[in-house]
């Protein structure tokens, strides 16, 4: 017949094993990155950012969906009318901007989502290093 001590010992082992496997699973999720493919948080290269944004914000996508994606990626968004983008003037577009990095040097990301009022027609990006 099992004693109270042996039952308690087996129960504690089972609890420890469960805790070990739960911590192991959590650690593996952290190490694997466990974030949405295309997330822009750690992107350093303008060409990589352009590639990700053009995959996630595709032509014909509803404008509100594009805005929701940019906001989720921590871009500040505003609708601009009769504005300038690069060398073109008088444009209406969704403008997204974000500042990444640590002082003294940061990277300014700017995204222009051109649209026809309902859907995305073009996505363009520019970036610059910002320092004192």
Going by pLDDT thresholds of 50, 70 and 90, the confidence category of residue 35 is very low
63-109 pLDDT, tens digit each? 999 999 999 999 999 999 999 999 999 999 999 999 999 899 999 99
Is 93:110 a contact under the CB 8 Å cutoff? Answer: no
Residue 112's pLDDT is what? 98
Pairing of strands 88-100, 106-115: antiparallel
Q: Locate tokens 């969906």: which residue?
A: 65
DSSP state of 117: S
pTM, two decimals, is 0.70
3 pLDDT exceeds 70? yes
Give yes or no for a cis peptide into 83 (omega within 30° of 0): no
Residue 12's pLDDT is what? 64
36 pLDDT exceeds 80? no
Q: What's the sign of the alpha-carbon dihedral 44, 58, 39, 93?
A: positive
């Amino acid at each position: 017949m099992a004693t109270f001590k042996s039952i308690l010992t087996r129960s504690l082992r089972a609890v420890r094993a469960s805790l070990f496997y739960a911590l192991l699973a959590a650690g593996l999720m952290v190490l694997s990155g466990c974030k949405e493919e295309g997330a822009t948080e750690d992107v350093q290269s303008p060409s990589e950012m352009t590639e990700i944004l053009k995959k996630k914000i595709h032509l014909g996508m509803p404008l509100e969906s594009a805005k929701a994606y940019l906001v989720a990626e921590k871009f500040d968004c505003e609708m601009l009318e009769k504005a300038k983008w690069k060398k073109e003037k008088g444009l209406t577009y969704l403008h997204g901007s974000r500042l990444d990095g640590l002082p003294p040097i940061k990277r300014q990301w700017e995204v222009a989502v051109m649209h026809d009022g309902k859907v995305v027609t073009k996505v363009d990006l520019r970036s610059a290093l910002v320092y004192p």
